[in-house]
Structure 1
Amino acid sequence: MINKNVFNKTKVSLIKINVAVVVSFFIIFSIFIYSYFKGLTYNSVDRNLNDELENITVQLTSSAIFSPIVLKDPSNMVYIYEGDRVKYYTRNGYFEDMLPKFRENKKNSFFTYTENGYTFRELSLEIGKYKIQIIRNIDAQINSFKQLIYVFVIGIIIAIIITYFIALYLTKKALIPIETAWNNQAKFVQDASHELRTPISIVSSKLESMLRSPNSTISDEVELIADAMKETRRIKKMINDLLCLTKEDSITTLNKEEVNIEQLINEISNDYLDIAEVQNKKFNINLNAENKIIITDKNKLRQLILIFIDNAFKYTNKNDIICINLTEEGRDIIISIEDSGIGIKDDEISNIFDRFFRSENVRSKDIDGSGIGLSIAKMLSTSLDIDISVKSKLNEFTKFNLIIHNK
């Protein structure tokens, strides 16, 4: 019914898009968190270095020349130069020459660098005759950054896996109604083609038969012409029904007005009185509703009732009875169309509103019809907010109740 490759490609594309969106979000989120955490960490280190600078500055300006420098944070390394002479330095094993290089181009700023496999954060500046370097080893912070990156990478991989399966499930579920609609459309086209093929073949055969007798007059071929015209009318009705089905917007658009339901049923029934007499069928109308006024779309309600009455006449035989009853149950108005015709099998009742469905009983009796009428009735009833119930027994009766909720 459908090219599976189309849906498989669509499914793969949707999964890729979903995964890409989620992964992109996680990457952006991870970059934001990493940058925020890194900035927060560096700001903390910089504040520490800055506090140490203030501590040293106070000691340089107020202490005696031989007083030792006392560090506020022993984790910091401080180097103080007075001209070319080292005034103070912190002993450590990080630097090869005991003293770090003084980077003139980085003066008066915070910066990060790596030396001998260690990572440092440094504040380097000149205050009067002194050059000061305040350095702090930040290997622990760098390791924290690396661990954070590792966590983000693992998190993104897990997110990709989880997103893939979620996207696979949601995509499959989302495509079910689309695939169903596609299959229904394909089936609709096939069924329509099948239903149209028979009357077209009949018309074609009748015309070919007349062509084989070029000397015949119209009176000689009147039976063939009548049959061809009958099939032409059948094709025309089927095409009109198909157009009605495809124009769902026109069915769902309502023009509501006050409608006298009793008067409407009488108008419809009058057209069938003569038909009932010609076909030798009993046609009874019983109108017992006190509340006759409803708010609905009159034309669509007329079309809905006509479909059921037309079917009642179509699927009944000579001397059968067709009844239209109008009753009330609370605020609901019920229109019943009942006939003593051929009936419907129990296992077929659930299918009668499907497009082109015709029961085996109907097909075997060669009764004209396309199987579209009740599909249109279902669409009309949904649009009009009318419930339909069905009761039937094979070869005994069929009863359709149209329940109008008169709000």
Structure 2
Amino acid sequence: MRKKDIFFKTKRKVTVLSTVIVFLCLLIFAIITKTLYTSIVFSHIDKQLMDERNVYTNVLSRGIDGRDWRGIPKLPPNIIMVVQGGNGVALVNQNYYFDSENLPDFPENTEDKIVTFTSGDYTFRGIKFHFNDLKISLIINVDSEIQSVNQLMSSIVLSFIILIIIALILSYYLSSKIMKPVKEAYDKQVFFVQDASHEMRTPLAVIRGKLELLANKWGDTIDNNFDHISKMMSEVRGLEKLNSDLLLLSKEDVDGSVNITEFSLDEFITDVSEFYVDLAEIQEKSFDIIRKLDDNTKVNWDYNKIKRMIIILIENAFKYTKEDGNIQLIFEDLGKNIKVTVKDNGIGIKEEEQERIFDRFFRSADVRVKSISGSGIGLSLLKSIAKTLDIKVKLTSKIAEGTEFNLLIPRIIK
């Protein structure tokens, strides 16, 4: 229950953090979008106001009476002009918003500045400036532009809500994907500790028991207790091999260095299989070496590492195959790859255990019950080497029928 709580809380934190980050990014995007859009919308209006201001100022500079429409250039239809003199309103062009009784109310201290202001239910953008005794106002109604900005904001808010919901869902999904390998690593760590403890406990218990027996036999000679000493030495050798395998595996995981050389595959096969031909005869088993390739086939491999991989598979095949059993070592040329198959008709592996056989120290309950020797390190080492050399490993097995391992090895390992 504790483990589940840890992963659930972590996943929740990752989800919340991811959603917050997306929220902040979307908020910044919305602010930038609104600012840029508003600037673009009003920049054209501001330019039009400034252009008309300059035109009107130039007209007045030439001595034309600003209160006489005949001397003023024709204004664009969207611009409202209000000219106020010392005696009141001098000019107001025809419009739907202002007249001599209803004048625009500019904010204070906005002389010669473009500002936005409201009058009644309408919004305007305009500029007010003086020329001699005249106070001139140029105004444009911006209700449509304001409505456009508001519509944009409504769209952004709606999109914002939808994207946050999507981000929340995706964050939860991604946090689950992120936590999956972490959980798998945690589970493997638990299995590793449990299996390693079990694997070491048995030989240590045997050694302890034998030592207790020897401790109660002060007067006996070594000859009388040779069986006990032999058994302890055997268990110590087993622990030494276990320690050696673990060091080799950890070195492979951390270092992963390779030594690629070119060599004849035919000579390699002879070197790998020579010992097991004799072993098969001693154990009354058949060991077939099948070559589906040319005699002069050359490969660029890490000789020692690939030899170790194949030997691990052959030793397992011998270990889990009874007398009169058959083991096959097959080499097949597939062009760019060499396929190596180790096949036996031994006890097989249960389907539910096939995913765990590459875990360190894992050994099935059936194997432990049958007291078949081994540490459960070999296939872990094989998997680690395969990852280093980019070798594909495939397993096919049926309980009580046998097991087949396929190694797909590039002809030239880089």
Q: Which moved more, 1:283-292 or 1:128-137?
A: 283-292
- 1:291 matched to 2:302? The reply is no
Partner of 2:241: 237
- SS of the residue corresponding to residue 109 of structure 2 reads helix
Q: Which moved more, 1:45-54 or 1:323-332?
A: 323-332
Map of 1:174-189 to 2, 5 A cutoff?
A: 174-189=178-193
Q: Distance in 1 between matches of 2:169 and 2:182?
A: 20
Q: How far has the Cα of 1:367 moved from its partner?
A: 2.1
- SS of the residue corresponding to residue 133 of structure 1 reads strand
Partner of 1:201: 205
Q: How far has the Cα of 1:255 moved from its partner?
A: 0.9
Q: Distance in 2 between matches of 1:393 and 1:40?
A: 72
CA deviations on 1:218-241 (whole Å, 9 max, x unpaired) are: 333322221111111112222222
Does structure 1 retain, via aligned residues, the 8 Å contact 2:262–2:300? yes
Does structure 1 retain, via aligned residues, the 8 Å contact 2:258–2:302? yes
Q: How far has the Cα of 1:257 moved from its partner?
A: 0.5
Q: Distance in 2 between matches of 1:32 and 1:143?
A: 18
- SS of the residue corresponding to residue 102 of structure 2 reads coil
- 1:167 matched to 2:171? The reply is yes
Map of 1:55-74 to 2, 5 A cutoff?
A: 61-62=63-64, 72-73=75-76
Does structure 2 retain, via aligned residues, the 8 Å contact 1:325–1:336? yes
Does structure 1 retain, via aligned residues, the 8 Å contact 2:358–2:383? no
Contiguous gaps of at least 5 residues in structure 2: none
Q: How far has the Cα of 1:11 moved from its partner?
A: 2.0
Letter matched to residue 82 of structure 1: G
- SS of the residue corresponding to residue 88 of structure 1 reads strand
Map of 1:200-349 to 2, 5 A cutoff?
A: 200-249=204-253, 252-268=256-272, 279=282, 281=284, 290-291=295-296, 293-315=298-320, 320=324, 329=333, 331=335, 342-344=346-348, 347=351
Partner of 2:19: 19
Q: Distance in 1 between matches of 2:343 and 2:159?
A: 67
- 1:120 matched to 2:124? The reply is yes
Does structure 2 retain, via aligned residues, the 8 Å contact 1:324–1:337? yes
Does structure 2 retain, via aligned residues, the 8 Å contact 1:316–1:339? yes
Q: Which moved more, 1:250-259 or 1:185-194?
A: 250-259
Partner of 1:35: 35
Letter matched to residue 234 of structure 2: K
CA deviations on 1:142-201 (whole Å, 9 max, x unpaired) are: 344333333322221221112111222232233323322332232222222222221122
Closer/same/farther in 2, CA of residues 139 and 352 from structure 1, 3 Å limit: closer
- 1:365 matched to 2:370? The reply is yes
Closer/same/farther in 2, CA of residues 334 and 26 from structure 1, 3 Å limit: closer
Letter matched to residue 182 of structure 1: Y
Q: How far has the Cα of 1:378 moved from its partner?
A: 4.0
- SS of the residue corresponding to residue 259 of structure 1 reads strand
RMSD: 4.1
Q: Distance in 2 between matches of 1:75 and 1:280?
A: 105
- SS of the residue corresponding to residue 18 of structure 1 reads helix
Closer/same/farther in 2, CA of residues 375 and 118 from structure 1, 3 Å limit: same
- SS of the residue corresponding to residue 114 of structure 2 reads strand
- SS of the residue corresponding to residue 105 of structure 1 reads coil
Q: Which moved more, 1:135-144 or 1:223-232?
A: 135-144
Q: Distance in 1 between matches of 2:89 and 2:120?
A: 22
Q: Which moved more, 1:330-339 or 1:186-195?
A: 330-339
Q: How far has the Cα of 1:256 moved from its partner?
A: 0.9
Partner of 2:149: 145
Q: Distance in 1 between matches of 2:367 and 2:195?
A: 17
TM-score (norm 2): 0.77
